């Protein structure tokens, strides 16, 4: 199974409270292209992958996406730690505070709760791998947008790390797609 080491995959440094940025970061915590959506998508799709190699890849990347979800959650927590109800309301987080106080809750940047409808799984390996490549590109673009929305050097550093992991995942899914095409086109001798 997995071994959980009680430290983040990448350190999260936050230099000041920023409720506005915390709100924006929820896009990657509970939005349709979030780390949560990606993790559940990949861990679910692995069952219908045709080869042990592709099953393992989806397990590995899905697990890493859970680690990224933890990183995003840590950033949000650190950016909101100690915020009062009035500060939360001024930052557009009054509804969140009313329902969750300062607790994290998987929702997008507009406060729309996470839903399993964000998870795509077709059962066709080629279709699912194309979906995964698109998901990684959407996440990469979202991280680029988030980088432009903050001045905090610690947050920028962590977001750059997460963005680069999306690029690597995109590349690995492309390799998996080539592998699946090769498997499907190979002669089967029984």
Q: Which residues contact 97 (CB under 8 A, 6 or more apart)?
A: 85, 88, 89
Query: Do 135 and 33 meet the contact criterion of CB atoms below 8 Å apart?
Result: yes
**Every domain of the chain and the residues it spans:** 19-185
Residue 3 confidence (pLDDT): 78
Q: What is the pLDDT at residue 56?
A: 97
The CA–CA distances, whole Å, from 164 to 26, 136, 181 equal 19, 10, 26
What is the structure's pLDDT at 1?
A: 62
Show Cβ contacts of residue 27 under 8 Å, excluding neighbours closer than 6 positions.
Answer: 33, 34, 108, 109, 142, 146
Q: Measured at the alpha carbon of residue 173, what is the angle toward residues 61 and 166, in degrees to the nearest 5?
A: 60
What's the pLDDT at 187? 74
Residue 5 is predicted with a pLDDT of 80
Report the pLDDT value the prediction gives residue 4, as an integer from 0 to 100: 78
What digits encode the pLDDT tens for the residues 127-178? 999 999 999 999 999 999 999 999 999 999 999 999 999 999 999 999 999 9
Predicted pLDDT of residue 59: 97
The answer to whether the CB of 158 falls within 8 A of the CB of 35 is no
With a cut of 50, list the residues of the chain below it in pLDDT: none
CA distance linking residue 170 with residue 176, whole number of Å: 10
CATH architecture label of 19-185: Up-down Bundle (1.20)
């Amino acid at each position: 199974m997995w071994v959980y080491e009680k430290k983040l995959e990448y350190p999260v440094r936050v230099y000041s409270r920023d409720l506005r940025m915390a709100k924006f970061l929820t896009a990657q915590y509970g939005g349709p292209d979030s780390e949560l959506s990606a993790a559940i998508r990949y861990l679910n799709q692995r069952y219908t992958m045709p080869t042990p190699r592709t099953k393992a890849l989806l397990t590995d990347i899905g697990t890493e996406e859970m680690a990224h979800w933890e990183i995003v959650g840590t950033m949000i927590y650190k950016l909101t730690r100690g915020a009062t109800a009035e500060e939360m309301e001024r930052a557009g987080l009054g509804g969140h505070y009313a329902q969750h106080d300062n607790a994290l809750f998987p929702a997008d940047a507009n406060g729309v709760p996470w839903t399993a409808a964000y998870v795509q799984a077709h059962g066709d390996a080629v279709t699912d791998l194309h979906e995964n490549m698109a998901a990684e590109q959407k996440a990469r673009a979202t991280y680029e947008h988030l980088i432009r929305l903050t001045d905090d050097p610690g947050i920028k550093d962590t977001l750059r790390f997460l963005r680069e992991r999306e690029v690597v995942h995109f590349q690995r899914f492309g390799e998996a797609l080539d592998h699946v095409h090769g498997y499907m086109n190979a002669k089967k001798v029984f």
